[in-house]
Amino acid sequence: MTRQQHNDPVSVDELSSSRSERYPLAVSKDRHLSVLLVTGRADVGGGPEHVMRLIEDLPDGVDVSVAAPEERPYHQRYAATATSVVTLEGRRRLPVNWWRLWRATQRTRPSLIHSHGKGAGLVSRPVGALSRTPVVHTFHGVHIDQYGPIVRHAYLRLERLLLWATAAIIAVSESEGELIDELVVRGRRPVHVIPNGVAPPGDLDAVDYGGTLRLVAVARLTYQKNPERLLDAAEMLRAIEPAVRVRIVGAGELEPTLVAEIERRSLGDVVELRGERSPIWNELTWANAYLSTARWEGMPISLLEAMAAGLAVVVPHIGGHTELVDDRLNGLLWAPDDDEALRVALGSVLDPSTRQRLGESAREKVRARFSSAATASSVAMVYDEVMSSERRG
């Protein structure tokens, strides 16, 4: 794969420098840049949070507007921080969204458009081609596992056709970049690998590693996140330690199924469904360990946040998880669909000293290497490359 790796490690101490110092090219007075960020979601989730972090962390001299659906909580947050907000309809309203985005480009004349995720990419790249505005596209995952063969083929063919209207491609993890190259790019274009990053609050409470295991899972309740597997984990833990507590933070179409399953399995005294919460930090500091049961991932922000908070993380051996977690050093990896591997991993974090060792190592790694400021600076470098190419014609 032809790829360009970004994000040299940036420590928390280095983040005190001004945005101008971190990325001087984007702030020179004669090279002002206006960017329109486009997202198909503004509800609770990693993608909308990633866009929020770009608004706040992109260098001085980059003027940021946003196009997003009118969903809580991020549409309101975008309106409070971005220069302007274009309100899109739901992801299925393509003609309406094409028209609204086209009008926005004619009114504001952005230097470039940066789309985030599948739906935003389908809207932004045709509009970019018509308005002669270069488009940077971040995939945030190539989510095709739930598709049948016909839909899968049609989607990948459309992505390949849209390459001609894409000035630059960004992947949020090495594994995602490899998948994009294999399925879409096929060596015809470099893929910029820019890992996700987080910005933990300075007054974050310390984790209490002692006492009973308090396990948190932060995920949309969808097929990808495999939430019913969380209930399997809760049953395994209850059989070993009845006092264990599990919180599931998130919402989605599988919530009624989970409610019914919790009742059927008599897990009401162990599992608590917390619904959507944002920001997530208070939920994380209640816990002393974090669990994911996802079927596939790029580089999930919820996992980065859990590690930055200092939780011991137990996650399946998939995608970007393997780029974040060094097994048994700063977290535990388990083989998907292997009950015994999951049971052993969960048994390990019943020990408070193990939780503390893994959690402190996780916090050190993420805070040293995965800051949202470093992510934004790397994205700004891609913007600069695209604009330099545009100027050369």
- Note the CATH architecture for domain 3-198+371-392: 3-Layer(aba) Sandwich (3.40)
Instruction: Please give the full DSSP string across 201-255, using - where no structure is assigned.
Output: -TTPPPP--SSS-EEEEE--SSTTT-THHHHHHHHHHHHH-TT-EEEEE---TTH
Domain span(s) for CATH 3.40.50.2000 in the chain: 3-198+371-392, 214-369
Q: Can you tell me the distance from the alpha carbon of 219 to that of 239, in angstroms, rounded to the nearest whole number?
A: 24
Length of the chain measured in residues: 393
- pLDDT, tens digit, 9 for 90 and up, residues 69-124: 999 999 999 999 999 999 999 877 899 999 999 999 999 999 999 999 999 999 99
Q: Can you tell me the distance from the alpha carbon of 294 to that of 290, in angstroms, rounded to the nearest whole number?
A: 13
How far, in Å, are 177, 197, 292, 370 from residue 172 at the CA level?
7, 9, 18, 11
How far, in Å, are 20, 197, 280, 353, 367 from residue 370 at the CA level?
20, 5, 18, 25, 6
Q: Can you tell me the distance from the alpha carbon of 333 to that of 351, in angstroms, rounded to the nearest whole number?
A: 17
- pLDDT, tens digit, 9 for 90 and up, residues 283-296: 999 999 999 999 99
pLDDT at 145: 79
Backbone φ/ψ region at 117: left (φ over 0), alpha (ψ -120 to 50), beta: left
Q: Domain 214-369's class?
A: alpha beta
DSSP code at position 184: I
CA atoms lying within 13 Å on the CB side of residue 321:
22
Q: What integer is the mean pLDDT of 16-32?
A: 41
pLDDT at 25: 39
What is the pTM (predicted TM-score) of this model? 0.90
- pLDDT, tens digit, 9 for 90 and up, residues 229-267: 999 999 999 999 999 999 999 999 999 999 999 999 999
